[in-house]
Chain A
Amino acid sequence: MAKRQLRVGKEWMYADDAEKLLREAIRVQREESRTHAHSTHDLPFIRKYVFSTDHKWIGIQYGFTALCFLLFGFFLMLLMRLQLGWPNQAFGIMKVLGEVRAPGGIMLPEAYNQLGAMHGTIMVFLAIVPLAVGAFGNYLVPLQIGAPDMAFPKLNMASYWCYAPGGILMLSSFWAPGGAPSSGWTSYPPLSVIAPTGQTMWILGMIFLITSSLLGSVNFLVTIIQLRAKGMTWMRLPFFVWAQFVTSFLLLLAFPPLEAAAVMQLMDRVAGTSFFLPSGLVVSGQVLGNAGGGNPLLWQHLFWFLAHPEVYVLILPAMGIVAEVIANNTRKPLWGYRSMVYAAVFLGFMSFVVWAHHMFMTGMGTVISAFFQTTTMIISIPSVVILTAMFLSLWGASIRFTVPMLFALAFLPMFGIGGLTGLPLGLAAADIHLHDTYYVIGHFHYVVAPGTIFAMFAGIYYWFPKITGKRMNERLGKIHFWGSLIFINGIFGPMFYQGLAGVSRRLYDGGIQYAHAKHAAMATNPFMSISAWCLFAFQLPFIINFFYSIFFGKRADENEWQATTLEWAATTSPPLGHGNFDVIPVVRRGPYEYSVPGAAADFIPQHAPDEHDTTTPAGGGIITPHAAVAKQEG
């Protein structure tokens, strides 16, 4: 067989030689940048690791902090589940709550309320959003669009350093007189206005978090609009970047009304105003001496104006991660990429006009209620479009069942359950029965826990080799996955049953005094609580795997999963604080060119030169050995 020839630069040479040459060039390039990193990188420790302006390190900071909060929020829930499963029994572990909250190891109702409010707040605002947007978004968006960093690195740093104190402030409310906030994560007045000091700390913490997300979202939007590499057109953006783009718009425009509401609640609490307090409110048998004339529903409107888009802030980045993982592991382009993008944009837009479906029970007029029911039904369409496209992407693929793919695959039905059970809640007639029952808890936890959190795990397993340069252990990963999948359903599945039976979500004793729900609640509660603790046990393999792999994991390949997107064009575990690419890549094709007919390798990176284009090596893109192989065959 005659040796193939191809042109490199201006010369013709044998393909084998060309490949060798390219490998050598890349090796040299990498070595150069590595030695360079050591020689010029003399940033002091504090600038490099504490007040870093590098998006990758900020992403890691966000990720680590958010994972700690995630674990903490989970721990609060574990304590609550003990109380729900075996009401009013003493448990040794309750002692961590202190004698005030759990005398003799039995949790008091006030403590249960505090844990509930803090579990919600921590999970939504301090764990999932910072993990989905702050960590994954920060680390990956600039890499995936071929940017050297975020548009405003200092604002990026400020964003993290608003988030961290905000979180600490929230946590420290446990030590405030009267304990942590106990008015639910929704902080509905008038309860929240007359609550003890912890609620003020909640508001102040919230203002920090809102500032953080404002800085972050402006940064993301400018980065995505302005810093896309040459050739990275809008329809060549990986779906993950689109998801982050829409998410940032939601954060930008939906959070300020909550900030305004928080300021008003702060005024109500501190300056004695009555924005949310009606006239003649009776508290503990006494008429409150405030001016009155306010309206508690005003808070609900402003809160849900944020909090509904917030739901999509939780789910969109998750969908982005799942899309990336699915495309990579099916070795096929995403089915209906464009429809998915349009659906995501439409989803973002619609999420601003559905908020009042959380308020059907406030005695809403028929016209406005019909409006919000209609928009709520409409918004389910784009979610279904995205989910369907991802299901169809699996069709006919020879799937790689890697750990990230397992989590991504589990996301699909789990999010499906979460989404579909939401439909009855969006219709006022059904909502009247289901409102404030465990059905609601089941619904949104299916969206967020086996939905979003599984997607987060998929993302962690998938990009771990990129971030650390190490591989995670597959076997531990699979144990983690199967255990989590089984037991998470054990917790949330029975909630639908309980909810349909009418069990209220606010019962601290699990429904022991609730005669007609006795079978629904008391029979299933211990099972759910055991599932929760088992779920916890199955997170241990992950935690062990995570730290073990960082220190002792096997070295990962440059492009560990043979992926097409640009983050894999940067060096493995790119040096911190140093820009991202040796050469800013030029993008030549869409994000998911897997299994292109006729191509040698089953993937063509976005920046790999065109096969017919023989002059490209000088064109500025990085050439990977794989691309060279693809080229050689073409």
Chain B
Amino acid sequence: MMADAHAAAAAHGHGHAELEIPYNVHPRPDTGLYNGKLGIWLFLASEVMLFGALFSSLILIRTSAHHWPRGWEELHVIPATINTFVLILSSVFVVLAWANLRLRNERMGRLFILATLLCGLAFMVIKFYEYNLSLSHHHYPSTSNFFAIYFTMTGLHGLHVLGGMVVFTYFLGPGWKMLHTERERFVNRIEIVGLYWHFVDLVWIFLFPTIYLL
């Protein structure tokens, strides 16, 4: 009896060498979610409030302004439209990457992640071009509150795109080896970054018409 207790204690002691967090990879039965997925949805909820506050400010400032230009009078709709397509395309790429990885189609998965990253890059390049156009017309954030909102909101959105690109770069580089050591966890990571990336796309879907078209 005493020996049993001793042995059991020893066995449990060894379990601590590598600390394992429960439900890190597999979903918890009663919530149906693994930790990372719940985490990213909570994070996105907070992002909704961040952009929500900016949209709220936009409504408030615009409705109380004496004059407010229509977006297309001051901005460049064509590059922005192209950017909309680019982001939608990248959104599809990232779900296709996830689907391919689940099908154990590694090559295609990697290709689609690369495509997503390139789309992000294209978005930033076009955005840069668009900013340059505005600035060369002497339209600065300080010019009017219209431009203030334009630069602030698209800038913050651009930072989110940039953040996503950093993560994709990590997965293509040093992060990729996890696919071979902990496959399921890696696939989950792609799902999570995908959710983030779709959200960034979602913000743009609302940002584009409210700033450029209205």
Q: For residue A582, which residue of chain B has the nearest CB?
A: B12
Q: Across the interface, do B2 and A25 meet the contact criterion of CB distance under 8 Å?
A: yes
Q: Across the interface, do A36 and B13 meet the contact criterion of CB distance under 8 Å?
A: yes
Q: Across the interface, do B50 and A260 meet the contact criterion of CB distance under 8 Å?
A: yes
Interface residues of A in 22-69 (CB under 8 A from B): 24-25, 28-29, 32-33, 36, 40
Q: Across the interface, do B19 and A578 meet the contact criterion of CB distance under 8 Å?
A: yes
Interface residues of B in 47-89 (CB under 8 A from A): 47, 49-54, 56-57, 60-61, 64-66
B interface footprint on A542-580 (CB within 8 Å = 1, 0 otherwise): 000000000000000000000000000000000000110
Residues of chain A with a CB closer than 8 A to B52's CB: 256-257
* A120 in the interface (beta carbon within 8 A): no
Q: Across the interface, do B53 and A261 meet the contact criterion of CB distance under 8 Å?
A: yes
Interface residues of B toward A: which range?
Answer: 35 or more
| Cα separation A218 to B39 with both chains bound (whole Å) | 6
Residues of chain A with a CB closer than 8 A to B1's CB: 8-9, 11, 21
Residues of chain B with a CB closer than 8 A to A432's CB: none
| Cα separation A225 to B42 with both chains bound (whole Å) | 12
Q: Across the interface, do A226 and B148 meet the contact criterion of CB distance under 8 Å?
A: no
Q: For residue B33, which residue of chain A has the nearest CB?
A: A226
* B182 in the interface (beta carbon within 8 A): no
Assess A28 versus B9: contact at CB under 8 Å? Given A226-B28, A255-B46.
yes
* A271 in the interface (beta carbon within 8 A): yes
Could you tell me the dominant secondary structure of chain B's interface residues?
helix
Q: Across the interface, do B57 and A275 meet the contact criterion of CB distance under 8 Å?
A: yes
A interface footprint on B141-175 (CB within 8 Å = 1, 0 otherwise): 11111001001100010000000000000000000
A interface footprint on B13-32 (CB within 8 Å = 1, 0 otherwise): 11011011111100010010
Q: Across the interface, do A259 and B50 meet the contact criterion of CB distance under 8 Å?
A: yes
Residues of chain B with a CB closer than 8 A to A151's CB: 21, 24, 35, 39
Number of interface residues of A (CB under 8 A): 57
Q: For residue A229, which residue of chain B has the nearest CB?
A: B22
A153 to chain B, nearest CB (A): 7
* A100 in the interface (beta carbon within 8 A): no
Interface residues of A in 247-277 (CB under 8 A from B): 252-257, 259-261, 263-264, 267, 271-275
Q: Across the interface, do B38 and A222 meet the contact criterion of CB distance under 8 Å?
A: yes
Assess A295 versus B60: contact at CB under 8 Å? Given A256-B46, A260-B50.
yes
* A19 in the interface (beta carbon within 8 A): no
* A291 in the interface (beta carbon within 8 A): yes
Instruction: Name which of B4, B35, B46, B65 has the most chain A CB atoms within 10 A of its CB.
Output: B46
Residues of chain B with a CB closer than 8 A to A225's CB: 31, 38
Residues of chain A with a CB closer than 8 A to B19's CB: 148-149, 153, 578-579
Assess A264 versus B39: contact at CB under 8 Å? Given A226-B33, A583-B12.
no
Q: Across the interface, do B9 and A582 meet the contact criterion of CB distance under 8 Å?
A: yes
| Cα separation A264 to B13 with both chains bound (whole Å) | 53
Say which residue of B2, B9, B47, B156 sits within 8 Å of A263 (CB atoms).
Answer: B156
Residues of chain B with a CB closer than 8 A to A294's CB: 61, 145
Q: Across the interface, do A275 and B39 meet the contact criterion of CB distance under 8 Å?
A: no
| Cα separation A290 to B141 with both chains bound (whole Å) | 11
Residues of chain A with a CB closer than 8 A to B39's CB: 151-152, 218-219, 222
B179 to chain A, nearest CB (A): 20
Instruction: Name which of B28, B50, B51, B56 has the most chain A CB atoms within 10 A of its CB.
Output: B50
Q: Across the interface, do A226 and B145 meet the contact criterion of CB distance under 8 Å?
A: no
Q: Across the interface, do A252 and B45 meet the contact criterion of CB distance under 8 Å?
A: yes
* A160 in the interface (beta carbon within 8 A): no
Q: Across the interface, do B13 and A256 meet the contact criterion of CB distance under 8 Å?
A: no
Residues of chain B with a CB closer than 8 A to A25's CB: 2, 5-6, 9
Assess A21 versus B43: contact at CB under 8 Å? Given A148-B19, A226-B38.
no
Interface residues of A in 426-458 (CB under 8 A from B): none
* B212 in the interface (beta carbon within 8 A): no
B44 to chain A, nearest CB (A): 10
Q: Across the interface, do A32 and B13 meet the contact criterion of CB distance under 8 Å?
A: yes
* A84 in the interface (beta carbon within 8 A): no
Assess A253 versus B49: contact at CB under 8 Å? Given A260-B57, A275-B61, A293-B61.
yes
Q: Across the interface, do B21 and A227 meet the contact criterion of CB distance under 8 Å?
A: yes
Q: Across the interface, do B145 and A273 meet the contact criterion of CB distance under 8 Å?
A: yes
| Cα separation A293 to B68 with both chains bound (whole Å) | 10
* A147 in the interface (beta carbon within 8 A): yes
* A235 in the interface (beta carbon within 8 A): no
* A318 in the interface (beta carbon within 8 A): no
* B10 in the interface (beta carbon within 8 A): yes
Known: A148-B20, A217-B42, A219-B39. 6 other contacts (CB 8 A): A9-B4, A25-B2, A25-B9, A40-B17, A227-B23, A257-B56
Where the two chains meet, the residues of A that have a C-beta atom closer than 8 Å to any C-beta of B are 8-9, 11, 21, 24-25, 28-29, 32-33, 36, 40, 147-149, 151-153, 214, 217-219, 221-222, 225-227, 252-257, 259-261, 263-264, 267, 271-275, 290-291, 293-295, 298, 301-302, 305, 578-579, 582-583
Selected A-B contacts with CB under 8 Å, 24 pairs: A21-B2, A25-B2, A32-B6, A33-B13, A36-B16, A148-B20, A148-B22, A214-B43, A222-B38, A222-B42, A226-B35, A254-B49, A256-B47, A257-B53, A260-B54, A261-B53, A271-B141, A271-B151, A273-B148, A273-B152, A275-B145, A295-B60, A298-B60, A578-B16
Where the two chains meet, the residues of B that have a C-beta atom closer than 8 Å to any C-beta of A are 1-2, 4-6, 8-10, 12-14, 16-17, 19-24, 28, 31, 33-35, 38-39, 42-43, 45-47, 49-54, 56-57, 60-61, 64-66, 140-145, 148, 151-152, 156
Question: What are the 8 closest A-B residue pairs judged by CB atoms, nearest first?
Answer: A272-B142, A25-B5, A273-B148, A260-B53, A257-B53, A256-B50, A29-B9, A256-B49
